[in-house]
Amino acid sequence: MPWIKLKERGHWLSPCFLPMADILETIIKFLDPLLEGTDIFLVNAKVKPVNNVKVYLDADNGLSIEKSARVNRQLRTLIEEHQMFPDGNYSLEVSSPGVDEPLLTPRQYAKNIGRTVLITLADDTEKLGVLKEINEVNMVLELKVPKKKEKETIVTEIPLADIKKTVVQIIF
């Protein structure tokens, strides 16, 4: 049975004794080379106590079912080769986060430039506008503000530290 070196503790441990945090760390370590050189990136990953592994991915050019299925097959192979769940009692889900989930990574923000987003600020106020730019400190948002007979466009910078969540809006 392959053994895994725990990063923080610096010792080797059989995968069947891995706590959830270490299982998650190992899953992420497995994903790094699988995603390298692709337009796919990790958004989030979770491991539930019932050995339910959930991996949420996105891609610069859209996460197709084929891309998701390929990563799922490759990750499942690595999990089984390393006997992370020796009795085989686990489930693996690889998918996109979903259209109503908030943006979590800078790469998600960059991918959604030009789209309408709903931002909830730390004080629970909301702003609806078009995401124009993103950097390490601020987001630039174009807002439509009602004015007497027409709408005026205002461009504003919002510090990322003031943002509670950002959700892309689906406009039909």
User: Which tens digit of pLDDT belongs to each residue from 148-166?
Assistant: 677 788 999 999 999 999 9
pLDDT per residue as tens digits for the range 103-144: 999 899 999 999 999 999 999 999 999 999 999 999 999 998
Q: What is the pTM of this model?
A: 0.79
Nearest in space to 71 (alpha carbons), one of 98, 45, 47, 104 = 45
Distance CA 21, CA 67 (A): 26
Q: Does domain 106-168 have CATH number 1.10.10.10?
A: no
> SS3 string of the chain?
CCCEECCCCCCEECHHHCCHHHHHHHHHHHHHHHHCCCCEEEEEEEEECCCEEEEEEEECCCCCHHHHHHHHHHHHHHHHHCCCCCCCCCEEEEECCCCCCCCCCHHHHHHCCCCEEEEEECCCCEEEEEEEEECCCEEEEEEEEEECCEEEEEEEEEEHHHEEEEEECCCC
Sign of CA dihedral 32, 38, 43, 49: negative
Q: What residue spans define the domains of the chain?
A: 4-95, 106-168
Q: What is the pLDDT of residues 50-91, one digit of tens each?
A: 899 999 999 999 999 999 999 999 999 999 999 898 888 999
- Cα separations in angstroms, 155 against 15, 88, 130, 145: 52, 53, 9, 10
pLDDT attached to residue 18:
56
Q: What is the pLDDT of residue 153?
A: 87
Bridge partners of 106? none
CATH number given to 4-95? 3.30.300.70
Question: Per residue in 13-63, pLDDT tens?
Answer: 444 445 677 889 999 999 999 999 999 999 999 998 889 999 999 999 999
